[in-house]
Amino acid sequence: MEEQYNDFLENICRNIDKDSLIDAMKENIEKLKRHEIPITYPNDIKDMNGLLMLSMQGIEFMRESIISLSAFPLIAKDWIKVLAEYLHGEKCVEIMAGSGMLTYALKEMGIDIIATDNGEWEWEHKWTEVKQMDYQESIKCYMKECSYLILSWPEMGENADYALRLMRKENPKAKMVYIGEFGGCCANQEFVDAARIVDREWICKINENFVNWAGIHDKVFILK
């Protein structure tokens, strides 16, 4: 049985640098615990075999554990740096900010940004001050003076669609930086239909280093 297990594990890891992947994920977990933004995430976690190999190694790693320390997307300095270059000099507000990690990462890059959230979800591992406001109140309060609305991983339903429409009403020149699945397990079809993708060259640059989990198809989008 042990020999069969080892053969199975070897087959899974054949095209994956097992030791490098394990070391990278361990290092990132420790960084998150210390409130440090990881520099990058290994591309192999996009591969189901990579995730299976990690779980079989007994690493305290599952996606839920990473989320509890950080956020739903895999936030890393490599792509945050490019996003910050895009946002440079502009004022931003993040709604549904959760733990505040995305805002924290952008602040580290010099971005003028405020984080807001209605506080319904409990986050033990908070990264920065998050003002307790629902998304509608936040947009009405801040959007006239902000050029960008940041929205990451909204739950399925109408909120993302309503936020996009309200942003347009409060500030027709504003844009939304949206991180999540376009359809799938975020927002709804009305949001996808209403969204207009802009600044495609920047989207490509930002997503060059953006890593998602195997089976998850989130990306960074810029919308009007």
Contact assessment for residue 83 and residue 177, using Cβ atoms and an 8 Å cutoff: yes
pLDDT at 5: 42
How far CA 127 is from CA of 32, 73, 98, in Å, comes to 10, 15, 9
Strands 131-132 and 148-152, by their bridges, are unpaired
Q: What pLDDT sits at residue 168?
A: 98
Condensed to tens digits (0 to 9), the pLDDT of residues 28-38 reads 999 999 999 99
Category of 100 on φ-ψ map: left (φ > 0), alpha (ψ -120 to 50) or beta? left
Give the per-residue pLDDT at 45: 82
User: In which band, very low, low, confident or very high, does the pLDDT at 46 lie, cut at 50, 70 and 90?
Assistant: confident
* Residue 103: predicted pLDDT: 98
Tens of pLDDT, residue by residue over 59-74, are 546 788 889 999 999 9
Provide the 3-class DSSP secondary structure of residue 119: coil
Residue 44 to residue 211: CA distance in whole angstroms: 9
Instruction: Report pLDDT for 9.
Output: 46
CATH number for domain 77-223, candidates 3.40.50.300, 3.40.50.150, 1.10.287.3510, 3.30.499.10: 3.40.50.150
Q: Is the pTM of this model over 0.75?
A: yes
As a whole number, mean pLDDT of residues 78-95 equals 98
Q: What pLDDT was estimated at residue 26?
A: 85
pLDDT tens-digit series, residues 108-127: 999 999 999 999 888 888 99
Give me the residue spans of the domains in the chain. 2-69, 77-223
Q: Which position has the token pair 């990881």?
A: 38
Most distant CA pair in the chain: distance in Å? 65
Among candidates 6, 13, 8, which has minimal Cα distance to 47? Answer: 13
Q: Over the chain, what is the mean pLDDT?
A: 89
Q: Could you tell me if 214 and 45 are in contact, meaning their C-beta atoms sit under 8 angstroms apart?
A: yes
178 — pLDDT class (breaks 50, 70, 90):
very high
Q: Which residue has the tokens 């990132």?
A: 28
Q: Which amino acid is at 196?
A: R
